[in-house]
Amino acid sequence: MLIRPIPVHDANASSGNKDLGKLPEWDLSDLYTADDAPELARDLDWLEKACTDFAADYEGKLSDLDATGLLECIHRDEKISNIAGRIMSYAGLRYHQLTTDGARTKFLSDCQEKITNFTTPLVFFTLELNRLEDDHLGKLLAQNAELARYKPVLDRIRAMKPYQLSDELEKFLHDLGVVGDAWERLFDETIAGLTFSVDGEELSIEGTLNLLTEQDRSKRESASRELARVFGENIRTFARVHNTTAKEKEIVDRWRGMPTAQTGRHLSNDVEAEVVEALRDAVVAAYPKLSHRYYELKRKWLGLERMQVWDRNAPLPIEDTKTVDWPTAERVVMDAYSAFDPRMGEIAKPFFDKGWIDAGVKPGKAPGAFAHPTVTNVHPYVMLNYLGKPRDVMTLAHELGHGVHQVLAADQGELLANTPLTLAETASVFGEMLTFRKMLENAKSDQERKVLLAGKVEDMINTVVRQIAFYDFECKLHAARREGELTPDDINALWMSVQAESLGPAFDFMEGYETFWAYIPHFVHSPFYVYAYAFGDGLVNALYAAYEETPEGFEDKYFEMLKAGGSKHHKDLLAPFGLDASDPKFWDKGLSMISGFIDELEAMEE
């Protein structure tokens, strides 16, 4: 889920974006028709009773259940998850359409509080599951094949066993969750409310960040300095949010006895800490041959003595900066998907035709791009803030990949469809790769090929190098917060400590860039999420190399991997392709693809 900062102006009202064509909007009626729909009231009533009945029937009794009884218990829990997920999907998506609307904010908050209250009695379920003896649970699983299907999710639940607190404390933390959510909403609403003035035009953060890809260097500089000015004016609020959420996490981690701040994320991702560290170390070791080398090339292309931060995502001087309208973007992505396998095109088509994408930039609309799976008996929804840039086409390919993955995994059911974040980025990054390869194949000149290659390298650096730098920043932030309150200057210093190392010696850093950590939503919403992007990119590069080496039968194996959802560990999912992410050399394979593209760009200079 690649989340970008949010716009609060209408792109179709600005001169640069009026020719995008008709942009699709969500039709949320497949979830509920309105916030006062009778079906929504019915489901809330059902959920309250179902949770009460579940607790009455099973609390203190899980160890007495036979295989059939435990399976029925899991099915009932799955149904509760489905209805609660449907309600929260509707409330959340509706809020994301207009975060500045008080009624929508209240509706989301009220739904969250009701569902938290309804589901508090269910906290016992995972606690008692974790108290079952391994031998006892193993026998039950051996007796019932349908029950055994749930082993992967039971294993993930039981991985938390060493960090489990008392029943009373777990219920307390469950109830307290709504307070943490409030800090996240403060962050979102603060971002949504920021306004920036660039050359006399008032913009939100999305529109301002978009200027960093303009051909006009003075426009990029003006946008960068205005971002720094506004972030600086609001830095105390952002520092307070980060201090509070990091402290909250530290307290919970300490009580649970988690050895590191990252442990919880690794457990939820079903990935071993050493695999993540191998990825991180491989990427950091590759900085010189990736980002450092590429940005030195780009410095020469731009004719600069030194690069500034506003040059990082600048288009090349030879690049045609015309706007890509929506019908063209749809055609490019659909052609790439269908060329790989017609089944992929068939799954993707309804997103465009049935109101499953919300693409326009509108006042108050929430952070930039994501695919939300909702629940397994509805369908995913994709959100974009489409401004007609070539990168926006790649973002469409990315999020549509998530959507295809979520559709294919839905047959696993509510508890097994959800893919750990490390694998959740596989289909999205693969979708980008398919789109890029199709565009490269259709390039009409060496100049067009060079622009496409450079754009892909930049996207990969942003996905791999930048995200690992983000991960290192978070590691430093959470470690420092454990020692005490952090001032804005403290956080600024941590940010700058990773920037020069990752971007390389071609760059200077303007005054004010030290505050650019402030707008990254992942740090607040999903601590340590960011390494999943690098994981996904490296995995997809290795997958695509396997596809090129042995295309026969690849499509079927790929579809089976996506259909598996969260029902298999990454080792089992990658085995049919002859790949193993726990092999330290695995990451070098993925990074060598990026390095190879840079080799090709360097060869074009000779």
The per-type count for the chain, helices as H runs and strands as E runs, is 27, 5
pLDDT of residue 17: 47
pLDDT of residue 322: 76
pLDDT of residue 367: 62
| 406-441 tens-digit pLDDT | 999 999 999 999 888 778 888 998 999 999 999 888
Q: Are 196 and 202 in contact (CB under 8 A)?
A: yes
E strand map for 319-398: 357-358, 370-372, 381-383
Q: Is 37 exposed, middle or buried (0-12, 13-18, 19+ CB in 10 A)?
A: middle
Residues 6+ apart with CB under 8 A from 535: 271, 276, 279, 421, 422, 425, 581
pLDDT of residue 18: 60
Pick the closest to residue 372 from 90, 36, 33 (CA basis): 90
Query: Which amino acid is residue 133, in one-letter code?
Result: E
Place of tokens 């889920």: 1
Cα 118 to Cα 95, 111, 254, distances in angstroms:
21, 10, 27
DSSP string for residues in 18-66 = TTS-------GGGT-S-TT-HHHHHHHHHHHHHHHHHHHHHTTTGGG--
pLDDT of residue 379: 97
pLDDT of residue 583: 83
Residues 6+ apart with CB under 8 A from 145: none
Output the pTM of the full model: 0.82
pLDDT of residue 606: 63
Q: Is 532 exposed, middle or buried (0-12, 13-18, 19+ CB in 10 A)?
A: buried
Rounded distance, CA 67 to CA 297, Å? 63
* Distance linking the first and last C-alpha atoms of the chain: 38
pLDDT of residue 391: 84
Could you give the 3-state DSSP secondary structure of residue 335?
helix
> Residue 4's Cα: distance from chain center in Å?
10
| 43-82 tens-digit pLDDT | 999 999 999 999 999 999 999 999 999 999 999 999 999 9
Pick the closest to residue 319 from 447, 419, 407 (CA basis): 447
Tokens (6 digits) for 352: 């465009």
Which DSSP state fits 507? B
Q: What is the mean pLDDT of each run of 10 residues along the chain (606 residues)?
A: 28 46 96 97 98 97 96 97 97 93 94 94 92 95 96 91 89 83 89 91 89 94 97 97 96 95 92 93 96 96 96 89 90 96 97 96 83 96 91 93 96 92 85 92 88 92 95 98 97 96 95 96 92 90 89 94 92 90 84 94 85
Domains of the chain: 31-159 (1.20.140.70)
Q: Show the 3-state SS of 98-154.
A: CCCCHHHHHHHHHHHHHHHHHHHHHHHHHHHHHHCCHHHHHHHHHHCHHHHCCHHHH
Residues 6+ apart with CB under 8 A from 254: none
